[in-house]
């Protein structure tokens, strides 16, 4: 590998338009101009700890990688495009996705069953707010980190002025994309073309549900906002999604579709503990399965070694 050939990483979180961004950055017409072919590498860093990205190629989306993890392996020639989204919009989008449209792997099924067990929508949002803590490090380490090798992009800007925001991305990559090419790729990958609906027209059971910003305001009650700021004081202001810390005081006491009695935080915490216990059990079972496989392979190695020592296997036979 020639170190002078840099790598381009698309780093983000789930529900930040990751597939949409990737599809534009790896469109054939775009790749001909950027000379960064798709390495077809995408994973969640919560699940994978060993990073290996090929030189001269585009890798991503890489989910959850914080700035310190990036700096641990990045060369002076590598570049990172980091896409963020208002964490409250991510929360609502994730809630609908888990309940209605996401995949069927074990942890999604587990989350879906747990969320479905709550007696009201308000409790589901409280549970999602409690889960938001695992993404704070991502936002906090990348916040205000733009520079020669890192470009921070906001999902909200991408959907409001798509062509110009992608022009900024390609300028960051020091690549010139003809306007006619860029506009053609952007139009082909628009929300309207991908979903068959106008942006803002909701389909709860579709992966492309709504495609708008500030959708969280429709679902957060006054109590939700107060709980968020209690758990994560100053966080939204620090990352630039609010101008002050008492933003929650302007929320309605009863948001649309969430007209229910005062939530029980103890009920949510009990459900969260049940979920975490199930996660631990699933991981323990997976570890046991891998240990059993390793033991079987070790027994086979010992058997082959024993046979070899007996002279049963001769080189070339």
pLDDT beyond 50 at 32: yes
Q: Mean pLDDT, to the nearest integer, of 93-119?
A: 70
The per-residue pLDDT for 258 is 39
Which of 57, 77, 64, 49 minimizes the C-alpha distance to 9? 57
**Which pLDDT value is given to residue 205?**
44
Specify the number of domains making up the chain.
2
- Of 35, 34, 8, which Cα lies nearest the Cα of 170? 34
pLDDT score at 107: 60
Same domain? 49 vs 91: yes
The band of 199, judged by pLDDT with boundaries at 50, 70 and 90, is low
Q: Given this model, what pLDDT does residue 197 score?
A: 62
In a domain? residue 112:
yes
Residue 1 pLDDT greater than 80, yes or no:
no
**Domain shared by 245 and 287, yes or no:** no
Measured between alpha carbons, how far is 145 from 65 in angstroms, rounded to an integer? 14
Q: pTM, whole model, 2 decimals? A: 0.75
Domain check: are 317 and 272 in the same one? Answer: yes
Question: Is 287 among the domain residues?
Answer: yes
Three-class DSSP category at 282: helix
Residue 6 has pLDDT above 70, yes or no: yes
**Integer CA distances (angstroms), 47 to 50, 66, 204, 208, 295, in order:** 10, 14, 28, 25, 23
Q: What is the pLDDT of residue 284?
A: 74
259, part of any domain = no
Q: What percent of the chain has pLDDT over 70?
A: 76
Sign of CA dihedral 285, 65, 59, 204: positive
User: What confidence score (pLDDT) does residue 309 get?
Assistant: 77
Both structure tokens of 109: 């099924």
- Tell me which residue range forms the domain holding 153: 8-250
């Amino acid at each position: 590998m020639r170190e002078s050939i840099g790598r381009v990483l698309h780093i983000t979180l789930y529900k930040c338009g990751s597939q949409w961004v990737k599809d534009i950055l790896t469109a054939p017409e775009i790749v001909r101009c950027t000379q960064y072919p798709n390495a077809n590498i995408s994973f969640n860093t919560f699940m994978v700890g060993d990073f290996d990205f090929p030189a001269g190629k585009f890798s991503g989306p890489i989910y959850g990688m914080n700035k310190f993890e990036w700096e641990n392996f990045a060369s002076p020639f590598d570049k990172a495009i980091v896409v963020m989204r208002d964490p409250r919009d991510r929360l609502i989008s994730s809630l609908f996705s888990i309940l209605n449209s996401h995949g069927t792997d074990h942890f999604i099924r587990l989350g879906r069953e747990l969320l479905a067990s709550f007696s009201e929508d308000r409790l589901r949002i409280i549970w999602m707010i409690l889960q938001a803590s695992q993404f704070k490090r991502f936002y906090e380490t990348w916040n205000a980190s733009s520079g020669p090798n890192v470009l921070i992009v906001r999902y909200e800007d991408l959907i409001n002025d798509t062509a110009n925001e992608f022009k900024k991305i390609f300028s960051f990559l020091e690549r010139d994309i003809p306007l006619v090419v860029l506009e053609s790729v952007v139009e082909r990958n628009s929300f309207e073309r991908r979903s068959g609906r106008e942006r803002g027209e909701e389909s709860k059971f579709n992966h492309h549900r709504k495609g708008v910003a500030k959708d969280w305001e429709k679902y957060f009650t006054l109590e939700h906002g107060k709980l968020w700021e209690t758990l994560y004081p100053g966080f939204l202001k620090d990352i630039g999604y609010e101008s002050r810390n008492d933003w929650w005081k302007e929320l309605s006491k009863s948001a649309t579709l969430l007209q229910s009695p005062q939530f029980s935080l103890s009920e949510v915490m009990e459900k969260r503990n049940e979920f975490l216990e199930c996660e631990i059990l699933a991981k323990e079972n997976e570890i046991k399965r891998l240990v059993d496989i390793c033991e079987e392979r070790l027994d086979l190695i010992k058997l082959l070694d024993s046979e070899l020592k007996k002279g049963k296997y001769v080189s070339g036979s």
